[in-house]
Amino acid sequence: MSAAKQRQIGWFNLVLALLGSCVILFVVAPLVSIVLSTSGSDMKAAAVDREVLDSIRLTLAAAFFATVTSALVGVPFAYLLARKDFWGRSVLLAVIDLPIIIPHSAAGIALLTVIGRQSLIGRLFGRGLTGTTAGIAIAMAFVSIPFLINAARDAFGSVDTKLEKAARTLGATPRRVFFTISLPLARRGILSGLVLMWARGISEFGAVVIVAYHPMTTPVMIFQRFNDRGLGAATSVAVLLILICVAIFIMLRVFLRPKAGREF
């Protein structure tokens, strides 16, 4: 390779690296800045504030509940979408992505018509699910389930159908093929989808604040403190939530990292 060509490639790589640095800076700068702008004493105060701790606990639990229940129905549905070609499949794929494009406050209003006091469910049970942990979990699930289903569908799609066919000729029922071949091999993709969904659920504000202002999830509490007490009061809660989320995210990334010598 000529020296001129090598120099050209060197410049190109440099441009790519500079553009990448801009993206990383854009993501990291606000996070680093908010952490640095919070004093230790404020953080300590937030960490022992019962209201804050309760809201963090509620947020994590509601997002977890939303993710697990969505997985029970969403993962088999993703398998169906990955493996079967049926009439209306492309319409279903578009429907699944709807919660991503709908403004989340509008999604919250839409949910009120289904689980609110005046909805059919509300009338049947004498009260709606607004202002309940279940309502929060439903709002979180609504806006974040596309992340799980799309990730799981891609994960199942990447499992070679020959493996499933081979298992069927060895006497396995379709159910056994699903649980012993497809699911274990799609495991990493599905777990990534679960983590994404859970993280998206934790950060949800728009839909949750309309379905349940109380009990207060942490994003709602940050908004409330910002309005009532100003930036300083909101910042320490926000930093606490960010640190907890980043810690959990790092732990999951380590847990999900492929082991050496294993490709799946």
Residues in the site for other proteins, rule: CB under 8 A?
Answer: 160, 162-163, 165-173, 176, 180-181, 184-185, 261-264
* Beta carbon nearer to other proteins, 111 or 152: 152
Nearest to 49 by CA among 242, 247, 233, 246: 233
* Beta carbon nearer to other proteins, 14 or 163: 163
Helix/strand/coil (H/E/C) assignment for every residue in the chain: CCHHHHHHHHHHHHHHHHHHHHHHHHHHHHHHHHHHCCCHHHHHHHHHCHHHHHHHHHHHHHHHHHHHHHHHHHHHHHHHHHHCCCCCHHHHHHHHHHHHHCCHHHHHHHHHHHHCCCCHHHHHHCCCCCCCHHHHHHHHHHHHHHHHHHHHHHHHHCCCHHHHHHHHHCCCCHHHHHHHHHHHHHHHHHHHHHHHHHHHHHHCCHHHHHHCCCCCCHHHHHHHHHHHHCHHHHHHHHHHHHHHHHHHHHHHHHHHCCCCCCCC
Nearest to 141 by CA among 88, 73, 192, 78: 73
In whole angstroms, the minimum distance from the beta carbon of 158 to other proteins comes to 12
In whole angstroms, the minimum distance from the beta carbon of 67 to other proteins comes to 24
* Beta carbon nearer to other proteins, 105 or 173: 173
* Beta carbon nearer to other proteins, 151 or 159: 159
* Beta carbon nearer to other proteins, 162 or 257: 162
Dist CA 113 CA 119 (whole Å): 5
In whole angstroms, the minimum distance from the beta carbon of 147 to other proteins comes to 24
* Beta carbon nearer to other proteins, 164 or 204: 164
The burial of 12, by beta-carbon neighbours within 10 Å (0-12 exposed, 13-18 middle, 19 or more buried), is given as exposed
* Beta carbon nearer to other proteins, 50 or 262: 262
